[in-house]
Structure 1
Amino acid sequence: MTYSIRIADIPTNERPRERLLTLGAKSLATAELLAILLGTGQGKGKLSAVGLGHYILQELSQHRRDPLDVLREINPQELMAIEGIGPAKATTILAAIELGKRAFQVRPMERIVIENPDTAAAALSHDLMWQTQERFAVVFLDVKNRLIGTKIITIGTATETLVHPRDIFRETLKQGATRLIVAHNHPSGSLDPSSEDLDLTEQLLEGANYLGIPLLDHLILGEGDYQSLRQTTDLWNKYPHFQ
């Protein structure tokens, strides 16, 4: 085994952690993934973390076994029998293996379908309905109108909040959403849209039209009720493909 070079001596862009951050975990070899978990090296020949990762795989592959298959069911004593692996390194590796198993086995949560303004308002009621300051939120949806998530974009004063369309669309793209609903609250309880509300909605519709990301509605919430601007204004009539 010749992997005795220190990780610190490897060019920055070739180190396992840096490569994972820039290229993603899938780009790393198994020994490099182990090296990140190990943190440090040593063992026979004072190996680097990457070298120790290779050594572990070599030891586990004896008798023509697949080392990853062995790792799946290995116990602490078997790991610590490998030179250079003590309790700290062994427990880190075993915890990572168990976390991977649980993540693989769990079923994805069934996403709520936002079929109408009622379900959208319900998804936002905790964040917007009874707040004493204006908040502006976005509901992120996939192509089948299933809820990806919600996010408060800005928090304002008791009477106004400032938000820019670029912030909304930047977050929408970041979340991987293909449709969105925007909403804000009126702490006064009045659900009537202001001229600023209408202007912002039109700007958002224009941006959504340009980006090809349908804006399905703009809701105003307050004191247990809501209003849908899509249902009460003619703004969406200018964008028939959003119908």
Structure 2
Amino acid sequence: MEALRIAELPACERPRERLFDGGPRGLATAELLAILLGSGQANGLSAIGLAQRLLRSLEGPGCDPLAHLRDISAAELMLQPGIGPARAASLLAALELGRRVFLAPPAPRPVVDSPQAVAAVLRAEMAFARQEQFAVLLLDIKNRLIAHRIVTLGTLDETLAHPREIFREAIRQAAAGIIVAHNHPSGITDPSAEDLRLTRQLLECARTLQIPVLDHVIVAQHSCTSLRRTTALWQS
């Protein structure tokens, strides 16, 4: 039977599509290698076929093929039928990049413990936006920033946010707590009735999910307002 090319596989079986849909961690080693090897066939094998054959050639008694792959040379790679200079270079570059990323010290995480710190994280994205944006800042147990996400965009004068989108990010990143924030393009940071209603809703969800909402900050070009400091919502 003639081997299928990657482009002829169903979308759910194509490594690149699966990587975009579910992230790289869900892919098998052969699928990751196939992405690096690229499309097209060589010696009657697809990229996945080449990747599988490469891994089999590196197997040994009590030895993981990845241990051999880590130290492989260009000459060894090009002994494999179907792997020429271009494919060998791609694999070696990816292996070296992975090594350097692994050895690099982690970037320091800023501590976000005030409305001003929230504004400092978001102002470049939000302060000059012409429409409202709603963001969630994901924090660890020491209030250090794990990541921040713009979860919704609104119209010129209104944003729509749903707790589902906000807490989905917190659960995915295993955040110990979150701060939510949005901008007011008008430059006036007084909370609206809708801002207060949404904050109450988020606080209720936070109690159920046990992921505390530490603040809701409204950001403008030159100012910011903390709803925790200016309302009694956290006391009720």
Q: Scaled by the length of structure 1, what TM-score is found? A: 0.75
The sequence identity of aligned pairs, in percent, is 50
What's the counterpart of residue 241 of structure 1? none
Amino acid at match of 1:135: Q
Q: 1:93 aligns with which of 91, 94, 114?
A: 91
Distance 1:165 1:118 in 2: 24
Q: Counterpart of 1:6?
A: 3
Which position in structure 1 is the counterpart of 2:155? 157
The size of the alignment, in residue pairs, is: 231
2:224 alignment partner in structure 1: 226
Who is 2:174 aligned against? Answer: 176
Q: Do 1:5 and 1:48's aligned partners in 2 also have CA atoms closer than 8 Å?
A: no
Based on CA coordinates, which of the two structures has the bigger radius of gyration? Answer: 1
Relative to 1, partners in 2 of residues 1:101 and 1:16: Cα closer, same or farther, differing over 3 Å? farther
What pairs up with 1:209-220 in 2 under 5 angstroms?
209-220=207-218
Aligned alpha-carbon RMSD (Å): 3.6
After superposition, the C-alpha distances for 1:189-210 in whole angstroms (9 at most, x for unaligned) are 2222122111111111111111
User: Cα gap change, 1:71/1:169 in structure 2, threshold over 3 Å: closer, same or farther?
Assistant: closer
Which SS does the other structure have where 1:137 is aligned? Answer: strand
Per-residue deviation at 1:23?
10
* 1:167 aligned residue: 165
TM-score, normalised by the number of residues in structure 2: 0.77
Equivalent residues in 2 for 1:133-212, closer than 5 Å: 133-212=131-210
**Distance in 1 between residues matched to 2:99 and 2:147, nearest whole Å:** 25
In the alignment, structure 2 segments of 5+ residues that lack a partner are: none
Unpaired runs of 5+ residues, structure 1, are: 239-243
Q: Indicate conservation of the 8 Å contact 1:137/1:184, yes or no.
A: yes
